A = this chain, B = another copy of it.
Amino acid sequence: MSEFKQVTISKAANVYFDGKVTSRKITFSDGSFKTLGIMMPGDYKFATNEQELMEITAGECEVLLSGASDWQSISAGQSFNVEANSSFEIKAKTLVDYCCTYIS
Contacts and interface: CB of A to CB of B under 8 A. Distances in A.
Nearest to A99: B11
A1 B9 contact: no
A51 interface: no
A84 interface: no
Interface residues of A, number: 27
Contact of A22 (B10, B38, B99): B38
**Interface of A: prevailing SS:** strand
Contacts of A7: 6-9
A58 B8 contact: no
Interface string A79-103: 0000000000000000101010000
B2 A11 contact: yes
